[in-house]
Amino acid sequence: MSSRRRRSGGRAARAAARAAARREMEKSPFLTSNLAPYEVLSTEGLEIIENNAEIILERVGVDITDAQAVKDFAEAGADVDGTRVRFPRGMCRQLITATAPSSFTQVARNPARSVEIGGKNMVLAPTYGSPFVRDLEGGRRYATLEDFHNFVKLAYMSPHLHHSGGTVCEPVDIPIPKRHLDMVYAHMRYSDKPFMGSVTAPHRAADSVEMAALLFGEDFLEENTVIISLCNANSPLTWDQAMLGSAREYASRNQGVIITPFILAGAMAPVTVAGVAAQTLAEALVGLSYTQVVRPGAPVIFGSFASSLSMQSGAPTFGTPEPTITLFVLAQLARRLGVPFRSGGNLTASKIPDAQAAYESAATFQPTLLAGINFVLHAAGWLEGGLTMGYEKFILDTDQCGMAEALLKGVDLSENGQALEAVIETGPGQHHLGSAHTLANFETAFYRSFTADSNSFEQWSEEGALEAAERANSLWKKSLAEYQPPPLDEARDEALREYIAKKKQFYPDSEV
């Protein structure tokens, strides 16, 4: 090949590389997996668990402490004995399969960031519910509203998180009866990604939906899902008034609900995978079906949070094999039920972003990616079994979320992906570093970690010999320094502020 031809190929290669880089920058607002979900049970095995769940619902039933929900289920055909509600075989499943959507769109304030929840799609959201935060300088401390704002901004700035999440941490410097207003507003003001509302009481859920109506418009809200919520069962086999009442507020307004039994195996369910799966399914069927009793067609997500328990200390454990298998089983059950599924994340019991945190997070996140999960809560920031939201851990986890996108793309079988001409052109005994194909693809060929250090020992030493957490520390600070809020219509912002001020005057500073 002549040198002239080589130079021409180089120009073409650089042009192709720039085009590939531009395509890489135009990231989708959510992931779509090209991998077949990994499945661990046969149809016969799944039917056994489904049958066991039906036996639990028919013979044992569920305690429901929400009077309206008990009344609604009785009218739908359930057998009510005080707060104990039993369900004829197949009743809950029929209610769900008849009207619950298999997928739905959550519309974002910025329409370009709207997400599709269900099918082969995956949406990654930050950790939820931590009362503490941690960073290298401040250590572990109670979270404040400033921390809440910081994590909303960090999620907004990350190209690898698709959702703003919900209670990214608990701002304990705001009175409990009022803090939901500040949290929901923070998602609306400091981000234009989709977000979650409050569920700690039905009236707080109602406030969340009303604020969403002010932001998007009442008519738009009626026809579109713009806010979702997380409603956890009080396992074992109990649904309380706060959760079902909140689910009712969202579902009645056509807004999304994630129905999630929260189970620590060995304490809140049996120690076996099949036992946990059957109980989880039974509890979820009740919550999922209730949304359809309230409003047929309301968007709903089957959620699971199942972890193991140390039989020696009683503490939750993460990254162990049994919850991984449980996750795979429940994902299969959700697909058979025909609704989106939520689970997984970067979970750890470690108190700091150390080797334990890395191993346990990897052991929970990889199965998340392979199971075919649609909505991933706790994708970034989780420490100490969820008690702490870590600044450095958040950054390290978002790097893993970026790798998830590369993994879920699967195998590229396009002409460029096959690279046959590159093999023919280069031939035996020659390297590919200078080939036209390599030059055209080198900028996007492999995922580039923004937290890992792959340099030589000498260069790493010269640059300060920083550990992973130290590198992440500078990255979250840089991200916050560069943050610019997305534009928000002034009239809508004023209406939200007025609503919050009015509600804060009405609500007391402390709960009775």
What confidence score (pLDDT) does residue 2 get?
Answer: 38
CB atoms within 10 A of CB 234: 18
What confidence score (pLDDT) does residue 309 get?
Answer: 85
Predicted confidence (pLDDT) at residue 17 exceeds the cutoff of 80: no
For residues 327 and 373, what is the distance between their CA atoms, to the nearest angstrom? 9
Closest by alpha carbon to 337, among 285, 404, 294, 389?
285
What confidence score (pLDDT) does residue 368 get?
Answer: 97
pLDDT band at 512, cuts 50/70/90? low
Section 140-156 average pLDDT:
98
Section 481-489 average pLDDT:
97
> pLDDT exceeding 70 applies to what percent of the chain?
95
Section 43-72 average pLDDT:
98
Section 178-185 average pLDDT:
98
Section 250-266 average pLDDT:
96
What confidence score (pLDDT) does residue 470 get?
Answer: 98
pLDDT, tens digit, 9 for 90 and up, residues 388-405: 999 999 999 999 999 999
Q: Are strands 103-106 and 115-118 parallel, antiparallel or unpaired?
A: antiparallel
pLDDT band at 315, cuts 50/70/90? confident
For residues 283 and 469, what is the distance between their CA atoms, to the nearest angstrom? 39
Q: Which helix (H) or strand (E) holds 358?
A: helix 355-370
Section 123-143 average pLDDT:
98
Q: pTM of the entire structure?
A: 0.93
Section 335-348 average pLDDT:
97
Section 141-168 average pLDDT:
98
Q: Which residue has the higher pLDDT, 419 or 309?
A: 419
Q: How many residues does the chain have?
A: 512
For residues 34 and 122, what is the distance between their CA atoms, to the nearest angstrom? 11
In terms of C-beta density within 10 A (0-12 exposed, 13-18 middle, 19 or more buried), how is residue 154 classed? Answer: buried
Q: 228 pairs with which residues across the strands?
A: 196, 256
Question: Would you say 132 and 388 are in contact if contact means Cβ atoms under 8 Å apart?
Answer: yes
For residues 72 and 266, what is the distance between their CA atoms, to the nearest angstrom? 32
DSSP secondary structure letters along 359-388: HHHHHHHHHHHHTT-SEESS-S-EEGGGTE
Q: Which residue has the higher pLDDT, 6 or 321?
A: 321
In whole numbers, what is the pLDDT of the chain averaged over residues? 94
CA terminus-to-terminus distance, the chain: 84
pLDDT band at 455, cuts 50/70/90? very high
Q: Which two tokens stand for residue 60?
A: 């044992």
What confidence score (pLDDT) does residue 8 get?
Answer: 37
pLDDT band at 314, cuts 50/70/90? confident
Q: Which helix (H) or strand (E) holds 132?
A: strand 132-135
For residues 123 and 121, what is the distance between their CA atoms, to the nearest angstrom? 7
Residue type, 50: E
Question: Would you say 170 and 387 are in contact if contact means Cβ atoms under 8 Å apart?
Answer: no
